[in-house]
Structure 1
Amino acid sequence: MRLSSFITQNLEGILVEWEAFARTQGPSATHMSSLALRDHAKLILTTIAAEIETAQTPAQQKEKSRGMAPDGRGPESAAATHGTLRQLSGFSLIQLTAEFRALRATVLRLWLPKVEAITETSTSDMVRFNEAIDQALAESIVTYSRRAAAARDTFLAILGHDLRSPLATVAMAGTYLASAPPDADKIREIGEKVQRGAASMTSMVNDLLEYARVQLDGEIPIVAKPMDLMEICQPALENARAVHPNCPFEFSATGDLRAPFDRHRMQQVLSNLLNNAAQYRDDSAAVKMTASGEADAVVVTVQNHGPLIPPEARQAIFDPMVRLAGDDGGNGRSLRSIGLGLFIAREITEGHGGTLEVQSDAGRGTVFTVRVPRRTS
């Protein structure tokens, strides 16, 4: 059987294996739908099947062997779109490459038992198939890398934007104190603004340091000791109120809240979630944090009402290098966050052996749920 015919006649079986492999590719894929995991795979395969049967001159084959792809003019290919969407979904470049490696191995593994004898036609089919896979991978990598580079540039631009406001506050305070006559009330007001600006900048710098640590070492070190989570919740709330004085916060706690915690790290988790909720809330309700003790875990939720997070974006928001299309809600809101807080919060929670999940709907708003086991394995 020709390889092209085998692919078109066995699309569903190949797609099932594609989906199963894609689901193993880290946290980003865990909660993705079947449709999202199969993203453009069917069209990629049918394009590859058609490519195998397309006539090719020796000159064209030589260009391919030198890595010279078509010029890319015209409509974007399915493989190119796949690269963009995988970057938006939080896949790494290694995971993207692994998908095509697995696809190549799957198709050949399923097809070769159907080949009764190695002929010139079957050999040509395998060569053309490998060329087509390599071409599709190259197109995916190009668009993935282009989107990742744009995300990095945005990341740096937002960082500069975030730091500029509190720095301007500090600079104006210095100018006033150096030139104006003493005024106790005015000095107190300026001092409070400087404190809020310093707290905001400290939070950003801490998140940047933690992000760099993860990139270099692979994880954030956790030193957990048995303690009551109430000892952590109150300081986190105080920090959030200092940074967002105009945001109302509500807190309630029930049950036994004792578990192994790294006090500093877990406070960072709660502070990041509270700051995120305050930043993206609307004025219809307060930001609510609840802590509850369950039989085998301590659970914290942080809830706000505001722009909803679409289902397909609920994992991507934990990736600092992913900026969602239209995520500013038309009001520039995304320009107030560099996206590190949620990434750091998830890394720390997982370091405690726990989970951080998000749900977002019209009824409850957006709810982040931290679950930390009472005993870590």
Structure 2
Amino acid sequence: MKLDRFLKEHIEEILAEWEAFSLTLVPTAVSGMVLREHARGMLQAIGLDIATSQNPEQQYNKSRGNAPHMAGGFQSAAFSHGGQRQASDFSLIQLCAEFRALRATVLRLWLPKVGDMTQEIADQMVRFNEAVDQALAESVVSYSSKADQTRELFLAILGHDLRMPLFSMRLAGENLKKPALTADQIAETGDRIRRSTRLMNSMVADLLGFTRTQLGSGMPIVPALVDVKVVCESALEDAKAAHPQSRFDFHTTGDTTGSFDGVRLHQLFANLLFNAAQYGDIDAPVVLGVHGDERGVLVKVTNQGPPISAESLGAIFKPLVQLSEGGGQDDRPRTSLGLGLFVAREIAEAHGGEIAVQSDAECGTVFTVRIPGAA
């Protein structure tokens, strides 16, 4: 059986195997429907390529990544697949693994249906490998382009967000140079500097945490005997300093001690409190609840405000995702890096725990962190 005919008649069988493999890489990265549409388009293009005659010059150009549709800027299924995979948190290694699996799956299913190994069969295998390599090249180009755009956007947002607290600190410095400042004016200026440094420290900590995860080392933790209640009180002080106009309620029950990384947990809870104060209703308190039991520690951060859409909830823990402002602008300090919740999830998972979120008009937005008693 010719390979182009095999691809057409057995495409569903190939898609099922390839989808199963892809979902083992990043199980929740993308819906099966989107995955199958991209794969179907790539297999159809590969089959058409194999069935189309090709002269030596065309074969040489293709081996150099200069296929006609790439030179013309046409966005093939493979090109779209690469961009979508970057947006779904696939690594470049995982993207290449998908194409390796596609190649192996097709050959494993097709070769038993081939009789004698003729020159025509060998030529089709060569054409198939050329087409898969071409599709991989297109996906890598799209993936890299999307990654470059994301990086440039991130740097632009970082510069914008750091400028605000730096400007505030500069004004505070100018005020301190004025003669005859009253004690209240000095105290107010000091509070402004403290709020700005807390905000900048939060952004830098998130940036460092994000960088560690992207280097492949994961979020490092150093467990020790820690009382989560004390950690939450410290995180609450940071949140109050950065958001003095917001109200916070704190309650705790049970034994909240265990083997945890107190520094990392402080960053986790501070990120959740900062997020709640930034997006919640300014007239309603942010509620921090801590409960300890034999299974570990359960922490909930609740804020009232516009519900988060189901679409946003699905992507809320991804890096570089910014929530919509919802209730409009005010003078609350803000950061739009989109790293805080991503770092919070990484810290929870590094402790062997998990973090979840639910949001509706009645209960507000509730982030729930469950951490076992020993990290």
TM-score higher than 0.5: yes
Counterpart of 2:308 in structure 1: which amino acid? Answer: L
Counterpart of 2:251 in structure 1: which amino acid? Answer: S
Instruction: Please name the residue that 2:196 is paired with.
Output: 197
8 Å Cα contact 1:298/1:372 also seen in 2: yes
Report the Cα offset of residue 30 of structure 1.
3.4
Structure 2 gap segments, 5+ residues each: none
8 Å Cα contact 2:317/2:345 also seen in 1: yes
| Correspondence 1:1-377 to 2 at 5 A | 1-26=1-26, 29-30=27-28, 32-38=30-36, 40-70=38-68, 71-73=70-72, 75-216=74-215, 218-283=217-282, 285-304=284-303, 305-306=305-306, 308-311=308-311, 314-315=314-315, 317-320=316-319, 322-323=320-321, 336-360=335-359, 364-376=363-375
Query: 1:4-30 CA deviation, whole Å, 9 max, x = no partner?
Result: 22222222222222222122224xx33
Take 1:204 and 1:116, find their aligned partners in 2: how far apart are those partners?
63
8 Å Cα contact 2:358/2:365 also seen in 1: yes
Q: Secondary structure at the match of 1:221?
A: coil
TM-score (structure 1 length as normaliser)? 0.88
Report the Cα offset of residue 278 of structure 1.
2.3
8 Å Cα contact 1:281/1:307 also seen in 2: no
Report the Cα offset of residue 284 of structure 1.
7.2
User: Do the aligned partners of residues 216 and 47 (structure 1) sit closer, same or farther apart at CA in structure 2, a change above 3 Å counting?
Assistant: closer
User: Do the aligned partners of residues 370 and 108 (structure 1) sit closer, same or farther apart at CA in structure 2, a change above 3 Å counting?
Assistant: same
Structure 1 gap segments, 5+ residues each: none
Let me know the Cα RMSD of the aligned residues: 2.8
8 Å Cα contact 2:78/2:139 also seen in 1: yes
Q: Secondary structure at the match of 1:299?
A: strand
8 Å Cα contact 1:249/1:287 also seen in 2: yes
8 Å Cα contact 2:65/2:137 also seen in 1: no
Take 2:139 and 2:340, find their aligned partners in 1: how far apart are those partners?
29
Report the Cα offset of residue 87 of structure 1.
1.1
Counterpart of 2:20 in structure 1: which amino acid? Answer: A
Query: 1:247-267 CA deviation, whole Å, 9 max, x = no partner?
Result: 233333344433321111111
8 Å Cα contact 2:219/2:346 also seen in 1: yes
Report the Cα offset of residue 39 of structure 1.
5.4
Identity across the alignment (%): 50
Counterpart of 2:40 in structure 1: which amino acid? Answer: K
Take 2:301 and 2:251, find their aligned partners in 1: how far apart are those partners?
11
Q: Does 1-10 or 203-212 show the bigger shift?
A: 203-212
Report the Cα offset of residue 143 of structure 1.
1.2
Structure with larger RCO (C-alpha < 8 A, sep 6+): 1
Report the Cα offset of residue 169 of structure 1.
0.8
